[in-house]
Structure 1
Amino acid sequence: MKMKKVFALLLAMAMIFPMSGCSGANVKKDSELHGTIEAVEVDINSKIPGRVAELLVEEGDEVKKGDVIAIIDSDELVAKKNQMQAQADAALSQYNAALSQVDAANAQVEKAQNGARRQEVAKAQAAVDFVQQTYERVERLYEKGAVSRQKRDEVKLQLDVARQDLDMALEGARSEDISGAQAMAASAMNMASAAKAKYDQAQAGLDEVMAYIDDTTIESPIDGTVTTVAVNAGELVSTGMSIAVVSDTSDMWLVVDVEETKVEKVKEGDYAQVQVLALSGKQLEAKVVSINKNPDFAVKKGTDESGNYDIISYGVKLKLEGAAEGIRPGMSAKIKFKE
């Protein structure tokens, strides 16, 4: 009789207090986790040292990719740019002059190889005809005793020279003349090559300085919100120094640690309610987008004060759905998974 009463009592207690193995389905509903809002954050640095001439943003400003964040003033770069520009201009002038010498030398080579042009032959022939007529006239006067022998000889010499010029125009240059013209052309080419190398070097230096000057205009690499401004206008900054932080608030998420005894209840695509503490407990929704599969990256924690054994927690990433005014990376939130 007593045994029947004990059995009835145990049955009643089991109905009132379900066994722990049957309560697992409520883990998601009853568990409240804590996480931190995260987003893509870009730390915008200065590539060059200088003074902040202009600071064009404040914390909380919305910016687009390419918007100017700040402008760095560097007198040293401006002076260097002027110096390199002068060197490049001088080198270019020398190069152009060398090219002109190359053209002239090549023209001499062509002339030597091809002989005189038709116009030059015609000119030489005309000179011979003119001096020939003059000589014949002087010769007749000489026979009559009207001009001296010296005068006749002078005109005869002019006729001989004119005939030699015509012969050279008709025959072309000699081999030694061609070789000489080719040597001059080769020398001119070497001078032009050296001038070109000097100009390229000067232009490369100028391009480098111009690239540094471009870096004085610091732009945002992404669309987002300015969440941190680290400098003030007029402040000196060094290379690598942070100017501002821009966060992509259009794509924010949380990562929470879920214990191994409960992670099996969480699935990709599940939804959770997110309560952002800094926004007066404003309620948002988040969707599970990934669950860490590798326990090597999971967080371990002691289950009692003595730490006899650990329970592994897996990182669960939830993407916030819908933007909330005022929400920023780093804010704390409470997360409760939905059934």
Structure 2
Amino acid sequence: MKIAGKVLVGLFIVLVGAALLFVTLHRSRATVAGDEAQPVEISGSLEAEETDVNVKIPGRVAQMLVDEGDEVTAGQVIAVMEADNIEAKANLAKAALAAATFQYEKARNGARPQQLEQAREMMAQAKAGFDLAQSTYNRLSLLYKEGVLAQQKLDVAGTELEVARARYNAAKEQYDLVREGAQKEDVESAAALVRQAQAASDEVQTYLNDAKVKAPIGGTVTMKAVTGGELVSTGMPIVTISDLRDIHVEVKVRETALGQFRLGQIVPVKVLGVPGKVYRGKVYNIGAKPSYATERAYQEKGEKDLVAFGVKIKLDNSDLKLRPGMTALISLAPRK
């Protein structure tokens, strides 16, 4: 009796193992297509064309203008970076360009008495502005040392001081140039200063434009990584935009069943997230290389490895009900 009991236990273990093996193989066939002579039952996850939107300048996000699920258009501003210092530098660059241009025009055209008086007045005004900016910066420096003023406000005041100093220096140079007159080489030098100032102004303006983060494509915001007030670094994605109208599913098909798929073929696709509807999927890509080995051969039996190929199927998502990550099911009748 003991021997018979052991035999029964062993037989039970073998049957359980065989059942588990059958279930495993059956599930494998549910996600990877099999032979052409068998029905193809295969599943995959929906995917969409996605684009990560990165910031081009590091710093703090002043505003996030979109949320997940929002529709955006190409070129739409989706976030704004803090740019106080950049704006101050842009003003400095514009002032330098204006001064260089004025200096060039005066050097080229010469000066009349009224122009000399005008240059003197501009220098006096610039000097008054510089003195005020210097006084303001000195006062704020004391407040900063006492711990009652933020570093950022002191930095802005410092930038404004540099702007005022540049304006004064430029105005003084203009006055001296108008008073003394200009030679040919002075005109050429003034023209070079204009070109240099223009290049600097263009560069700062580019940084200022980059402070407004724009959507490179139209679509739906499917991921929002930051909120207003957060610090971000260059190249860090702040949102992901997906073109939900361009939805597809990529499935893995065994080489023995690959012949059941052809480019342009219409196949029925069910999506678990949209019950009761069968989509007409269109095969638009069949992989030229295998993606991975689906079955390893038993060499002693003379069998060979079986590999799988990726097959991409596009779906019509004009109603925007489909979302990336949803499970898609594809069933094809066996080929006769």
- TM above 0.5, one fold? yes
Structure 1 residues 94-147: Cα deviation after superposition (integer angstroms, max 9, x where no partner) = 111111149xxxxxxxxxxxxxxxxxxxxxxxxxxxxxxxxxxxxxxxxxxxxx
CA-to-aligned-CA distance 1:196-255 (integer Å, 9 cap, x gap): 111111111111111111111111121211111111011122211111111111111111
Larger radius of gyration: 1
2:294 paired residue number? 301
TM-score (norm 2): 0.62
Contact 2:43 2:329 in 1 (8 A): yes
Give identity over the alignment, percent.
40
Please tell me whether residue 232 in structure 1 is matched to residue 241 in structure 2.
no
Aligned counterpart, 2:78: 69
2:209 & 2:46 partners in 1: Cα distance?
35
1:301–1:338 CA distance, 2 compared to 1 (3 A):
closer
Structure 1 vs Structure 2 CA RMSD:
2.8
1:58 Cα shift?
0.9
Residue 52 (1) aligns with residue 47 (2)? no
Amino acid at match of 2:106: A
Q: Distance in 1 between matches of 2:311 and 2:36?
A: 18
Partner SS state of residue 318, structure 2: coil
Deviating more after overlay: 68-77 vs 321-330 = 321-330
Select the residue among 270, 295, 299 that pairs with 1:275. Answer: 270
User: Which of 311, 315, 318 pairs up with 2:310?
Assistant: 315
Between the aligned partners of 1:283 and 1:77, the Cα distance in structure 2 is 54
Alignment of 1:255-266 (within 5 A): 255-266=250-261
Taking the TM superposition and a 5 Å limit, the aligned residue runs for 1:316-335 are 316-335=311-330
Q: What aligned pairs does 1:174-213 form with structure 2 within 5 A after superposition?
A: 188-213=183-208
Please list the CA deviations of residues 295-319 of structure 1 after superposition, one character each: whole Å capped at 9, or x if unmatched.
Answer: 3x53222346899742121111111
Deviations 1:27-79 (A, max 9, x none): 3xx22112221221110010011222221111111111122211111222112
Contact 1:37 1:254 in 2 (8 A): yes
d(CA) in 2 for partners of 1:306, 1:279: 44
Provide the C-alpha distance between the structure 2 equivalents of 1:263 and 1:275, rounded to a whole number of angstroms: 20
For residue 169 of structure 2, what is the aligned residue in structure 1? none
Residue identity opposite 2:279 in structure 1 = L
- The superposition leaves residues 265-285 of structure 1 with CA deviations (integer Å, 9 ceiling, x where unpaired) of 212222222232344575322
The answer for unaligned runs of 5 or more in structure 1 is 1-22, 103-184
CA distance 1:305–1:223, change in 2 (3 Å): farther
Whether the 8 Å CA contact 1:271–1:338 is kept in 2: the answer is: no
One-letter amino acid matched to 2:295: G
- Asked if the contact 2:51–2:241 (Cα under 8 Å) also holds between the matched residues in 1, the reply is yes
Q: Is the 8 A contact 1:272 1:338 kept in 2?
A: no
Instruction: Give the paired residue count.
Output: 231
User: Which amino acid counterpart does residue 97 of structure 1 have in structure 2?
Assistant: K
**1:337, 1:221 → 2: CA distance?**
39
8 A Cα contact 2:104 2:190, kept in partner:
yes
1:328 counterpart letter in structure 2: R
Distance 1:31 1:74 in 2: 58
* Residue of structure 1 aligned with 2:46, choices 37, 43, 48: 37
Kept after mapping to 1: 8 A contact 2:75/2:215: yes
Q: How far does the alpha carbon of each residue in 1:136-183 deviate from its partner, in whole angstroms, 9 at most, with x for none? A: xxxxxxxxxxxxxxxxxxxxxxxxxxxxxxxxxxxxxxxxxxxxxxxx
Moved more, 274-283 or 72-81: 274-283
Superposed, which structure 2 residues align to 1:47-126 within 5 Å? 47-101=56-110
> Aligned partners of 2:36 and 2:198: how far apart in 1?
72
* 2:191 aligned partner, one-letter code: K
From 240, 246, 249, the equivalent of 1:251 is 246
Aligned mates of 2:204, 2:260 — CA distance in 1:
59
- Distance between the aligned counterparts of 1:303 and 1:335, measured in 2? 25
What's the counterpart of residue 6 of structure 2? none
- Between the aligned partners of 2:258 and 2:212, the Cα distance in structure 1 is 48
Counterparts of 2:207 and 2:70, CA distance in 1: 27
8 Å contact kept, 1:271–1:337: no
Amino acid aligned to 1:321: D
Letter matched to residue 204 of structure 2: V
- Structure-1 separation of matches of 2:219 and 2:197: 40
Q: Distance in 2 between matches of 1:72 and 1:334?
A: 44
